[in-house]
Structures are given as structure tokens and as C-alpha cells.
Amino acid sequence: MAYDGLADVYLSLGEYRRLPPRDAYQHASELIHKALQLDDTLGETHNSLGDLLWHYEWNWTKAEYEFRRALEINPNYLDAHEGLAWYLSWSGRREEALLEFAKMRELDPAFPLHLDDQAGFHYHLREYGELVDASQKAVEVNPGDWSSHYFLGSGYLGLGRNSDAIPEFQKAVDLSQGDSDTVASLAYAYATVGRRAEAQQILGALQRESQKSYVSPYMIGTIWAGLGNKDRAFEFLEKSFAEKSPDLAYFVKADLRLDSLRSDQRFSSLLRRMAIQH
């Protein structure tokens, strides 16, 4: 269990862009496989392996298998239901995801407080009206949670309410202490309402920061997309592909910041190389 717990730390450090993907993957993979060598009957470790396979190895089929294996071992393991629900949402399998959320509701009396799970479900399915509703409720319950403001901003973008998205992304930036996803979303929103100088200022700051520490090339790519420079956007998406970025795996299917790129054959090529159906 201790090896698995430490693996989860490295998975999160990579997924929240605190470590480069290669470093996070190497440490997490070693720890997960050590845990499995010691005891392959822990649902927790199979759940962690599902996360590793989804976000870092891009082995979609095997990732789902491991989430389900975790639930075979422990049908009441809430985190595995949550991991599978997010994976199914990402896969566009709405009804199956809802079944997992229903199971979480049975298992956890506090499920109504899992509002970010509900927001994430609507985010991946691009159901923006429902995303705004779920995120507004989440903000009411916990106004200090940056992800709720982030999801609310994303919902506003999806509804074309780009000016309304900006203050939500600003709050998300402040509350997350500058998480690069929130920063990139703010820059993207600025670009789409004509505040290009502010978007370019953020872009320049991120690119300077990338000379000293890890900055997700995917997030830089989304800002270039917002600014209408497709060539630079694809340049950074290709960097994400080369480093096997968990951002690319997680966001590429549903991220509206990439919508201006989706009709480009370079985008189709990217999805094909990732073995994602277009």
C-alpha cells in the first residue's frame, strides 16, 4: 500500500505539471510494479495502474481493464468507481459513466458534495449548460476550490459567454497559485475577446518560465490556438506528443481551446497516431 500511495503522488505531480511527464511516469511505474510484485490483489494498485496506462502510456483498452480489475477485487472501492467514471466520460460513454456515478452515490452518503466529478463528466461530454450548472453549485459549496471556478469558466466559454469566463479563470489562477492550465485558459479567453496583448503577455511569461522549469507544451499550444496561429499551436502539440504528455491524453478529445484546429489534417494525424477515433 505504501508503494502504491507514493506512486499516486508521482502520478498527481505529473498530471498537475509539477514534474515533467517522463520523470513522473518513471517513478510511478517503478512503484506500481513493485507494489504488484509484493501483492497483486490490491484494488488500489490496479486503479493506479489504470491511471498510469490512461494518462502516460496511452493504452486506452488496458487502462479500462485495470480500472475494472480494481473493482472486481473490491467492488466498494470508491476511487476506482471514480477513476472508471472519468475514463468513461472521457471516452464519450455517457450511460456507462452515469452507472458508475450512481454506484458512487450508493456507496458514499457525501456524494452530493462530489460536484467536481459531475462537472468533469459534463466537461468531457461537452455539455456546457449542465457544466455551468454543476460548477455554479460547486462554487457555492466551496468557493475556495480553484477547479470549480476553472470548470465554470470552461462552461461559459462553451456557451459563447467568453467575457463571463474571464473572471472565473482569474479566480482559478489566483486560487491555484498559477496552475498552468488555469493560466492558459485565461490567456485563451483574453485572445478570444480581443485582448490579445494580455494573452501574448501570459504566453511570453510561460515561454520564459519554460527555459528554467517544466511548462506543459500543450498549454502553450492552446494559447497559440486562441491567438489564431495554427502552425505554432501544432508545433507545441507535437512537443506534447513527443513527451507523451498526460495533458494531451486527457484534454485532446474535448478541449474547446483546440476547436479551431480540429478540421486541420494535422489534427486528424495526431489523433490517429494516438489511436484515438476522430
| pLDDT score recorded for residue 115 | 85
The pLDDT value recorded for residue 110 is 82
pLDDT at 181 over 70: yes
The whole-number pLDDT of residue 196 equals: 98
Confidence of residue 156 (pLDDT cuts 50, 70, 90): very high
Asked whether the predicted pLDDT for residue 124 surpasses 90, the reply is: yes
The reported pLDDT for the residue numbered 278 is: 61
Average pLDDT for the chain: 96
Please say if the pLDDT value at position 60 is more than 90.
Answer: yes
Quick one: cell of 74? 473490491
* Under 8 Å between Cβ of 148 and 119: yes
pTM of the predicted model, to two decimals?
A: 0.95
The string of pLDDT tens digits covering residues 195-227 is 999 999 999 999 999 999 999 999 999 999 999
Cβ-proximal residues to 216 (8 Å cutoff; 6+ apart), any chain: 17, 180, 181, 240, 245, 247
Q: What is the pLDDT of residues 24-48, one digit of tens each?
A: 999 999 999 999 999 999 999 999 9
pLDDT confidence tier of residue 111, bands split at 50, 70 and 90: confident
pLDDT higher than 90, residue 112 = no
Question: Average pLDDT for residues 152-176, to the nearest whole number?
Answer: 98
Taken in order of first residue, the domains within the chain and their CATH numbers are 1-113 (1.25.40.10)
Q: What is the mean pLDDT of residues 145-163?
A: 97
pLDDT at 263: 97
Q: Taking a C-beta distance cutoff of 8 angstroms, is the pair 43, 71 a contact?
A: yes
- pLDDT at 113 > cutoff 80: no
**3-state secondary structure string, the chain?**
CHHHHHHHHHHHHHHCCCCCHHHHHHHHHHHHHHHHHHCCCCHHHHHHHHHHHHHHHCCHHHHHHHHHHHHHHCCCCHHHHHHHHHHHHHCCCHHHHHHHHHHHHHHCCCHHHCHHHHHHHHHHCCCHHHHHHHHHHHHHHCCCCHHHHHHHHHHHHHCCCHHHHHHHHHHHHHHCCCCHHHHHHHHHHHHHCCCHHHHHHHHHHHHHHCCCCCCCHHHHHHHHHHCCCHHHHHHHHHHHHHCCCHHHHHHCCCCHHHHHHCCCHHHHHHHHHCCCCC
| d(C-alpha 249, C-alpha 66), whole Å | 17
**What does the pLDDT read at residue 11?**
98
For residue 146, the model assigns a pLDDT of 96
